[in-house]
Amino acid sequence: MRSTDLPQVRELQLFETTSGPNFEELMQAAYLQTFPAQLTLIHEGDPADFLYVVVEGKVELFASSNGREATMAVVQPFGTFILAAVLKDAVYLMSARTTERSKLLLVPSEDIRKAFEKDDAFARAIVGELASCYRGVVKDQKDIKLRTSVERLANRLIRYDKDQGKTGSLELPYDKRTLASLLGMTPENLSRAFNTLKPYGVEVEGSKVHLNDMKSLLILAKPNHLIDDRKT
């Protein structure tokens, strides 16, 4: 990796606590690379050769079985994938593709495991990252199992509005196919859910959504910080 890239990489949460010599060794075989949109990076079932860190752009994690495909998550800066497979020296359980032009850091899996063994601070950072990922999975499961499709969509729109400044007007961060899959819905069900939300002040114009009656939407959605707050 070029020395000019190291300060940028050093600021990533996963590596900021790594000791100087260990960080330098970890980065020797790593590299930053820019990938075009809609490029498949890994395939489920393949061995985990690299740890990927999203530095710029977005990466969709998805899985397929019996002719069906589902979006599992969308990774944004500075998220990692797929860390558990790297540590276990196992195969990927998901595939990944870029959703837009993206810059990724690729670190050989073997180097990650070596650093985990000898650098206590790095090991603690790895455990913290895995714990955050696990809690995210639990929240996603609670969202799907404890809410109707309309409630899931309502809460997701409220979250997006909060992320974008709480103006009551938001831009969907993904296309509607991806959004539907993230919410455990078909595109047709997503369309029906949007129609159901019209009496609650939800107005859709392409990828733009206006929340014109936030009070009514909140009453319907009943946000739960143990599901919707990413900091819990």
Which CATH number is 184's domain given?
A: 1.10.10.10
pLDDT on residue 15:
73
Final residue before a domain boundary, out of 121, 144, 167? 144
Structure tokens at 225: 């910080």
- How much of the chain exceeds pLDDT 90, in percent? 77
* Strand order through the sheet with 68-75: 40-42, 95-98, 59-65, 68-75
Residues 6+ apart with CB under 8 A from 167: 161
Short-list 54, 52, 36, 232, CA closest to 134: 232
Question: Quick one: 54 and 110 in the same domain?
Answer: yes
Average the pLDDT over 22-47 and give the result. 91
Model pLDDT for residues 55-64, shown as the tens digit of each residue: 999 999 999 9
Least confident span in 13-17, 71-75, 146-150, 158-162: 13-17
Is residue 54's pLDDT more than 80?
Answer: yes
Model pLDDT for residues 76-123, shown as the tens digit of each residue: 988 899 999 999 999 999 999 999 999 999 999 999 999 999 889 889
Model pLDDT for residues 119-128, shown as the tens digit of each residue: 898 899 899 9
Strand 202-205 versus strand 95-98 pairing type: unpaired
Question: Quick one: 151 and 113 in the same domain?
Answer: no
- Look at the chain and report how many structural domains it folds into: 2
Average pLDDT of the residues of the chain: 91
Question: Quick one: 219 and 111 in the same domain?
Answer: no
Final residue before a domain boundary, out of 84, 116, 144? 144
Helix axes 120-146, 109-118, angle to 10 degrees: 110
pTM of the model: 0.85
> Hunting for tokens 């919707």 — which residue is that?
228
- How much of the chain exceeds pLDDT 70, in percent? 94
Q: Which domain holds residue 218?
A: 147-228
Model pLDDT for residues 137-194, shown as the tens digit of each residue: 999 999 999 999 999 999 999 999 999 999 999 999 989 999 999 999 999 999 999 9
CA distance 198 to 193: 9
Final residue before a domain boundary, out of 106, 129, 144? 144
CATH number at residue 71: 2.60.120.10
Question: Quick one: 126 and 165 in the same domain?
Answer: no
Q: How many CA atoms lie within 13 A of 44 on its CB side?
A: 13
